């Protein structure tokens, strides 16, 4: 079996180590003998074929502004189709904001989003009030007729406050700010498209979620009977426990 991962803006939208999400997906696939090819899609590169997975990292407001039109015009149409066809997508922070309706920065200028996630983000005019720190979230996600999930740990650093409309959150904040520091929600979910504020990077310390994304991509491509053999996650879970301890 093989998978193709579209990595959007690998050089400009990969702040706080979000490239670690691509490394985690690649390694956990390879450790099961599954080849994972990465399509690097910087500014100017068109996404015109459906991948099996998509990763869109975070970036400062400046980087988001620089890719705003490119994202809408060269990646947007295929990305919308991918989400509607249940391709798993992980978008972090700035990437999350641009999968939503958009982002209005502290100076009041707006960045237009794709609107896949019913989420809107506004940064307070007081730039000092950023949401920064270790974060712990509890997530329960649809998995066929059942659900799967557990604890997710990460690191957040965002000025934007996100409010959800009709879409579900990724999870519930146990420690940290989350979308806005008020409603206890973190991230957003629509079909298998996930937005989150969790950098860290997120996936290396949360192996269940990495496997969840891989399994959805494999089942979509090869059929619902596909399973993933368990790995020895002792090191990953020690890292997760250490992060939870730091958060608390």
* Residues annotated as catalytic (active site), given as ranges: 93, 199
Closest distance of CB 84 from ligand GLN, Å: 25
Residue 103 or residue 209: which is nearer to ligand GLN going by CB? 103
Residues 6+ away with beta carbon under 8 Å from 190? 83, 116, 117, 118, 167, 168
Residue 160 or residue 207: which is nearer to ligand GLN going by CB? 160
* Binding of residue 114 to ligand GLN (CB under 6 A): no
Residue 52 or residue 156: which is nearer to ligand GLN going by CB? 156
Residue 42 or residue 149: which is nearer to ligand GLN going by CB? 42
**76-95 binders of ligand GLN (CB under 6 A):** 93-94
Draw the binding track, 134-163, toward ligand GLN (x: CB under 6 A; -: no contact).
-----------------------xxxx---
Q: What is the 3-state secondary structure (H, E, C) of the chain?
A: CEEEEEEECCCCCCHHHCHHHHHHHHHHHHCCCCEEEEEEECCCCCCCCCCCEEEECCCCHHHHHHHHHHHHHHHHHHHHHHHHCCCCEEEECHHHHHHCCEEECCCCCEEECCCCCCEEEECCCCCCCCEEEEEEEEEEEEECCEEEEEEEEEEEEECCEEEECCCECCEEEEECCCCCCCCCEECEEECCEEEECCECCCHHHCHHHHHHHHHHHHHHHHCCCCCCCCCCCHHHHHHHHHHHHHHC
Q: Which stretch binds ligand GLN (CB under 6 A): 46-54, 58-66, 169-177, 221-229?
A: 58-66
* Binding of residue 179 to ligand GLN (CB under 6 A): no
Closest distance of CB 9 from ligand GLN, Å: 11
* Binding of residue 176 to ligand GLN (CB under 6 A): no
* Binding of residue 110 to ligand GLN (CB under 6 A): no
Whether the CB-CB separation of 237 and 205 falls below 8 Å is answered with no
Closest distance of CB 15 from ligand GLN, Å: 5
Q: Which of 14, 21, 26, 64 binds ligand GLN (CB under 6 A)?
A: 64
Q: Which stretch binds ligand GLN (CB under 6 A): 22-30, 39-47, 53-61, 228-236?
A: 53-61
Whether the CB-CB separation of 118 and 125 falls below 8 Å is answered with no
Residues that bind ligand GLN (CB under 6 A): 15, 58-61, 64, 93-94, 97, 103, 123, 157-160
């Amino acid at each position: 079996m093989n998978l193709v991962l579209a990595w959007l803006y690998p050089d400009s939208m990969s702040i706080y180590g979000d490239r670690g999400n691509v490394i985690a997906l690649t390694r956990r696939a390879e450790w099961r003998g599954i080849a994972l090819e990465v399509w690097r899609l910087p500014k100017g590169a068109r996404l015109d074929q459906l991948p099996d997975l998509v990763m869109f990292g975070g970036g400062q407001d400046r980087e988001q502004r620089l890719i705003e039109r490119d994202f809408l015009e060269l990646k947007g149409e295929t990305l919308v189709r991918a989400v509607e066809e249940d391709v798993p997508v992980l978008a972090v922070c700035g990437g999350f904001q641009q999968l939503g309706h958009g982002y209005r920065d502290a100076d009041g200028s707006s960045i237009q989003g794709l609107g896949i996630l019913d989420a809107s983000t506004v940064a307070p005019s007081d730039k000092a009030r950023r949401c920064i720190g270790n974060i712990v979230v509890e997530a329960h996600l649809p998995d066929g007729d059942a659900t799967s999930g557990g604890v997710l740990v990460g690191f957040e650093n965002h000025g934007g406050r996100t409010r959800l409309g009709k879409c579900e959150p990724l999870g519930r904040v146990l420690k940290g700010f989350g979308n806005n520091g008020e409603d206890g929600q973190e991230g957003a979910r629509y079909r298998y498209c996930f937005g989150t504020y969790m950098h860290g990077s997120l996936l290396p310390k949360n192996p269940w979620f990495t496997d969840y994304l891989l399994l959805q991509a494999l089942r979509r491509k090869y059929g619902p009977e596909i399973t993933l053999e368990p790995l020895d996650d002792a090191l990953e879970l020690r890292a997760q426990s250490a992060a939870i301890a730091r958060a608390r």
